[in-house]
Chain A
Amino acid sequence: DTEVTQTPKHLVMGMTNKKSLKCEQHMGHRAMYWYKQKAKKPPELMFVYSYEKLSINESVPSRFSPECPNSSLLNLHLHALQPEDSALYLCASSQDLPGNTDTQYFGPGTRLTVL
């Protein structure tokens, strides 16, 4: 089973709203990732969690706040977003045992529209 699930599938929010994106995997992977993908562009890395600790923040604005409640779950809290934040938000996970590079598996994404 190489499934990463994401909810919701679609989200429309206003600039003053607070919402959260959720990601879950049950593959025992210890690294989880958030990517942002604009239309016709490659995924851009936002955050990396390794063993439930934030390891990378790619200079993402503070209106995006990640959270890793446990090794299977990854959230992305959204607040005061701008219309240009509209994109497909992808979650990924990988096994990442020490000293071994490993495949990243992606979820289906959440299509976010900010009005």
Chain B
Amino acid sequence: GESVGLHLPTLSVQEGDNSIINCAYSNSASDYFIWYKQESGKGPQFIIDIRSNMDKRQGQRVTVLLNKTVKHLSLQIAATQPGDSAVYFCAENEGMADNFNKFYFGSGTKLNVKP
């Protein structure tokens, strides 16, 4: 299953399938990106990050792809499980300013995993 982020805020996939969640970011100067998972009633949980000098990074069952040319970020989840059901946010950072980060969050995509 695949979403287009802002244009399709809900993605439904079958358990065991691969999921792709997309995010378009706005600032070509952004140099650091994070994917967060947020379950109902909880705070955002860090999943994986990527810096602008990379185009791909892999974690456990998750892969983040960065295409700076078209300012696009995607999160791939392999063998999606019911526990992956949540809202997924991408966040972009425009770079350091005065020793802190300022992140901008995408609107989020809700992932529903059907058993």
- With A42-B106, A99-B96, A100-B96: A108-B101 Cβ-Cβ less than 8 Å: no
A76 sits at the interface (CB 8 A): no
Query: Residue A106 at the B interface, CB < 8 A?
Result: yes
Q: Kindly state the interface size class of chain A when it binds its partner.
A: 20 to 34
| Residue numbers in A under 8 Å from B98 (CB-CB) | 50, 55
B side interface size, CB within 8 A = 27
Q: Are the C-beta atoms of B42 and A96 separated by less than 8 Å?
A: no
| CB-CB contacts below 8 Å: A3-46 with B | 4, 6, 30-31, 33, 40-45
Within 8 A of A (CB), among B3-55: 31-32, 34, 36, 41-46, 49, 51
Q: Contact at B101–A104, with CB atoms within 8 Å?
A: yes
B88-103 CB contact bits vs A (8 Å, 1 = yes)? 0101010110111111
B71-115 contacts to A, CB under 8 A, are 89, 91, 93, 95-96, 98-103, 105-108
Which 6 pairs from chain A and chain B are nearest by CB?
A42-B105, A106-B43, A31-B100, A101-B32, A50-B100, A108-B43
Measuring CB to CB, which residues of chain B are less than 8 angstroms from any residue of chain A?
A: 31-32, 34, 36, 41-46, 49, 51, 89, 91, 93, 95-96, 98-103, 105-108
Known: A42-B106, A50-B99. 17 other contacts (CB 8 A): A6-B43, A31-B101, A40-B108, A41-B108, A44-B105, A48-B100, A50-B100, A56-B102, A99-B96, A101-B95, A101-B101, A103-B49, A104-B46, A104-B91, A104-B103, A105-B46, A109-B42
